[in-house]
Structure 1
Amino acid sequence: MSVEDARAAGRLILVAEDDAINRKVIYQQLAILGYAAEIVDDGKKALTAWRQGQFALLLTDLHMPEMDGYSLAQAIRSEEAGKARIPIIALTANALRGEASRAYGVGINDYLVKPVSLERLGALIEHWLARATSPVANSVEDSTVTTEKVIDVEILGDFIGNNPVKVREFLQDYRVAAEQLQAEMHQAARQGDLQQLASYAHRLKSSSRWVGASGLGDLCAELENLGRTGKKAAIGECLSRFDRNHAAVMAAIEHFLKDAE
């Protein structure tokens, strides 16, 4: 399929990758999978190309000169401002702790560690191309424009099926449970019961990741570890970061639920 044919069919892929060998590998993989792509070597060029072209999906490296993948995703999400959102898949050679959470936090939809198999790459591209044309997925995306930095409701939809009514029900239940667990975590911290704090953090970690609040889930994991290992001195500062993220997630959920009414 040519670039113009792919553009007309709504299946043209934009690739941002600064390493020449990686560009060749990705180009070959996409060709084998039957996709046409435009490939650029940094984030600034990718942003310019995105502004000028009609792309169905963006594959971007996270660590590039000029503009990295995080900044590229943030710029695109900001400019979309309530319009249809292009699916963004991050490609990186680094499986660093917290990197996936940071990627999701700037509006990146999915994350792959290089080298990636043809099967995995093809499955992920098809998944997000299908979501981009799904009425249910688009209705969820429209409601999450202002929430993308702290929660990705699409993740919940992927787990339970993209039923807007069920998504709202789960978010309502999560909000009640998360507020209760926050109060219990603070009480445990005040009482010096670090094991109980870790237990509460563990429970909230799981549910937060289910609903797409990956950043809050990571903070819960950090609190759980501090509690289990008895590092009392570090808990206060971590709880402060947790509280800020928790408040942002609760506000984002409230915004989403109001928009979905």
Structure 2
Amino acid sequence: MVVDAALPDGSELPGRLRLAGTDAGAGGPLKVLLLGGIGGSPHAARRDADAVLARPLRQSVFLRLAAAVVSGRASAPPEAATEPSLMPAPVEADCRLRILVAEDNPVNQQVAQRILERLGHHVDVAANGLEAVEAVCALPYDLVFMDMQMPELDGLAATRRIRALETAVAAIPIVAMTANALPSDRERCLEAGMNDYVSKPINAMRLAEVIARVAALPAPAPAPAPQADAEQPAPPSPPAAEAGDAILLDHATLEELEQQLPAELVRDLLATCLSEADGFATTIAAAAAIGDLDQVEYAAHSLKGSASNFGLRALAGVAHRLQAAAAAGPADVIPHLAAELHRTLQRSRTAVEDRLRSA
């Protein structure tokens, strides 16, 4: 089966298919080929796939790789084998930039700010599009990372306002940050005047690469690998048993984040994320009860973004379905999804607690 990583649930499908299609009859276990999304594919999706096809897709490559997968000759997914170091080295002092992050979710703000600071840059934060426009008019920023969906003024509208300014500020590089990963979203960003696009959950190397592209900096260099203690065995991977737990909490995504930020900070942010999720769930239930679909969509979008950052796969999935139902229907499923969100949140909290106890 070929799975497109650009689909709304494309990063989760390989794992689900692994669980659901463990035996495809006489042909043996189901084989999954992942078609990589814009800017690469999530670690969890690559791990659960038998092979990864990079875009642009070529027929000859597809046929050769499909034959290798079916015959059992394909080993590690090619994209995974060439994945760059997660934490690039900080830039030199003369390459440090003043960067504005426009993002309304406090947890996502901190993740982006701390990663960019570790890359060596000075970072300020704006909580919505209006604040972003005011900030770039007040201070000489070198670059803006702009979330697409924010209150007061969304990222697309904020970008259009900046581009309409009659000063040099109008030419500031602007990069979209969004939890969506569809090609149509990239087109909307470019049409609004943005220079580039990075999908959530964010990755330090991809951030460094996009900064190098739009700000004409040297290409990011991988940070020196930490010296391993030869006498200490590598820590075991989390047990696979917990197939349900693997769907609730993607340990690999969490471990990737811990390679980019201090583990203690990740744990604190994860606790904050779950606390905020309670508030989002309450907001969604209350908004659904009075038919406020705009509020349901906004809260679900915010929850989806923060949950994705920490590998809370099931929680992000339900939030995505809520967002889609609020935006395009059917609206009658929203109360049922709100109840499912509450149940999934409780199960996700238990999975996180179990993971922290075993750390």
Q: Using structure 2 for the length normalisation, give the TM-score.
A: 0.38
User: Equivalent of 1:214, from 313, 332, 344?
Assistant: 313
Pairing partner for 1:189 from 268, 275, 288: 288
Given the superposition, is the C-alpha separation of residues 149 and 218 from structure 1 closer, same or farther in structure 2, using an over 3 Å criterion?
closer
* Equivalent position to 1:121, from 77, 90, 103: 77
User: 2: CA distance between counterparts of 1:231 and 1:180?
Assistant: 24
Q: For 1:149, what is the secondary structure of its paired residue?
A: helix
* Residue in 2 that maps onto 1:152: 250
Give how far 1:126 is off: 6.6
Q: CA deviation at 1:123?
A: 4.5
Q: Which has the larger radius of gyration?
A: 2
> Is the contact between residue 277 and residue 303 of structure 2 (CA under 8 Å) also seen in structure 1?
yes
Residue in structure 2 matched with residue 68 of structure 1 by the alignment: 29
| TM-score of the two chains, using structure 1 as the length reference | 0.51
- Equivalent residues in 2 for 1:30-69 (5 A)? 64-65=24-25, 68-69=29-30
Classify the secondary structure of the residue corresponding to 2:25: coil
Q: 2:239, 2:355 → 1: CA distance?
A: 6
Structure with greater helix share of residues: 1
1:198 aligned partner = 297
1:109 aligns to 2:26 (yes or no): no
**Which structure 2 residues correspond to residues 153-168 of structure 1 after superposition, within 5 A?**
153-159=251-257, 161=259, 163-168=262-267
Corresponding pairs, count: 169
Q: Structure 1 residue 93: deviation in Å?
A: 6.8
* Whole-angstrom distance in 2 between the partners of 1:256 and 1:183: 25
Describe the shift of the 1:145–1:173 C-alpha distance in structure 2 as closer, same or farther (beyond 3 A). Answer: farther
Q: 1:65 to 1:144 in 2, by over 3 A?
A: closer
**How big is each residue's C-alpha offset from its partner over 1:76-132, in whole Å with a ceiling of 9 and x where there is no partner?**
xxxxxxxxxxxxxx733789xxxx99xx69xx83434553699x93451476xx9xx
Partner of 1:169: 268
- CA drift of 1:151 comes to 0.6
Following TM superposition, where does structure 1 have runs of at least 4 consecutive aligned residues deviating by more than 6 angstroms? 133-137
Q: Find the counterpart in structure 1 of residue 103 from structure 2.
A: none
Q: Distance in 2 between matches of 1:258 and 1:190?
A: 37
Kept in 2, the 8 Å contact 1:198–1:223? The answer is yes
SS at the partner of 2:291? Answer: coil
* Alpha-carbon contact 1:175-1:253 (below 8 Å) kept: no
Q: How far apart, in 2, do the equivalents of 1:239 and 1:136 lie?
A: 44
Contact 2:281 2:338 (C-alpha < 8 Å) held by counterparts: no
What does residue 330 of structure 2 align with? 231
Cα RMSD over matched residues? 4.3
How far residue 144 of structure 1 moved from its aligned partner, in angstroms, is 8.6
Q: C-alpha deviations, 1:218-257, integer Å up to 9, x for none?
A: 2111110111125321112222332222221111112222
- Unaligned regions of 5+ residues in structure 2, if any? 2-20, 54-61, 67-73, 84-224
